[in-house]
Amino acid sequence: MSLSFGTRLRSAMDERGPLCVGIDPHAALLDSWGLTDDIAGLERFTFTVVEALAGTVAVFKPQSAFFERFGSRGIAVLERAVADLREAGGLVVMDAKRGDIGSTMAAYAETYLRKDAPLFSDALTVSPYLGYGSLKPAVDLAKESGAGLFVLALTSNPEGSEVQRAVREDGRSVGATMLAHLAEENAGEAPMGSFGAVVGATLGDLSSFDLDINGPLLAPGIGAQGATPADLPAVFGAAVRNVVPNVSRGVLRHGPDAPGLRASAERYADEIREAVGA
């Protein structure tokens, strides 16, 4: 894999539309599809989504926890899904939000970012709240493997602000500090860097933050959480071109009908493309 994640992501978004579909097989969603909350239901749900969307959507974000809850058999389903999505040309952002120090962080990185790992993904979500420097094993291995990271910076959950908007001794907020670290990682990269931030699409005016990190901005909150594609320019300003809007329930609620899933994903991709001028 000779091209960086940032390069591959830009190409996929330009070709397929700037949309990330979350794969979140929680119990209520399985039930709404008429499926049982067990391995059989998990498999049916997951591979219906994969078969319906893998060839047309740019990015997929499986939430690891919803597979982990079924133990080793759930992880096996996740491994197959990751492989099938990537084989069909989709990019996979593993939503695991890992964060630790030293050899433990290195082990997390090897799980998702080592090229021959069963769960190797194009990018991984990570938590920097043991200090940005604690992510170094993941940063280094992502660079080596041509993968990327999405670092939690300004998340949409209300509790996040007590940490992310806390002000450091230098007068800069913690979230702004994370954005600055990412801008440094991405300096000089074209068409954009591989180290992105997670920034909620529901947060409203973020003009006080410098979101121009020359990297992708993974934006949850479109659809069920209340944000719309039309909100993106006001939230992200000049950085809107690099936004990767994530939609989960807004697409998945149309299953298990495969044409319904495809139609919903296409509609969101078109609306986002129009909103961001892609």
- CA–CA distance, 42 with 69 (Å, rounded to integer): 11
**Dihedrals φ, ψ of 254, to 5°?**
-85, -5
Q: Which residue has the tokens 């139609």?
A: 263
Cβ atoms of 109 and 138 within 8 Å: the answer is yes
Going by C-alpha positions, the residue among 266, 263, 138, 161 that lies closest to residue 208 is 161
Our measurement of the distance from residue 243's CA atom to the centroid of its chain's CA atoms, rounded to an integer in Å, reads: 11
Q: Catalytic residue among 61, 97, 115, 136, which?
A: 97
Q: Which of 2, 5, 75 is nearest to 218 (CA)?
A: 5
97 is catalytic: yes
Catalytic residues, by residue number, are 97
